[in-house]
Amino acid sequence: MTATGLRKLALSFPDASEAAHMRHPDFRVRGTVFATLGYPSDDYGVLMFSRQEQRRLVSANPRAFSAVKGAWDRRGNTQVRLENVDLATQRAAMALA
């Protein structure tokens, strides 16, 4: 997965749009952010989950997913290392987010 691939995939969801959040591109459905791109670097995206969903994804695929450090972790924000995730896994995770 690449940043371009993540952007294309995010925008393929019904009603998805791109905006900006804290100087990073974000992707929303009906005003709610479900993913961002470029944090902490261009090699990453962030997906928003419940804490339970976050723990399940991180434990199932720790090379691709990790909890964002700090208070964002408690909100279920989860980093995805783009080079370590395939399209099918990323699509399923985005659908869940």
**Candidates 3.40.50.300, 3.90.1150.30, 2.30.30.100, 3.30.2350.10; correct CATH number of 3-96?**
3.90.1150.30
Report the relative pairing of strands 24-29 and 16-21 from DSSP bridges.
antiparallel
Q: What pLDDT, on a 0 to 100 scale, did the predictor assign at position 71? A: 75
Share of the chain above pLDDT 90, in %: 85
CA-to-CA dists, residue 57 to 33, 39, 47, 76, angstroms: 19, 18, 11, 11
The mean of the pLDDT values for the chain is 93
pLDDT digits 0-9 by tens, 21-64: 778 899 999 999 999 999 889 999 999 999 999 999 999 999 99
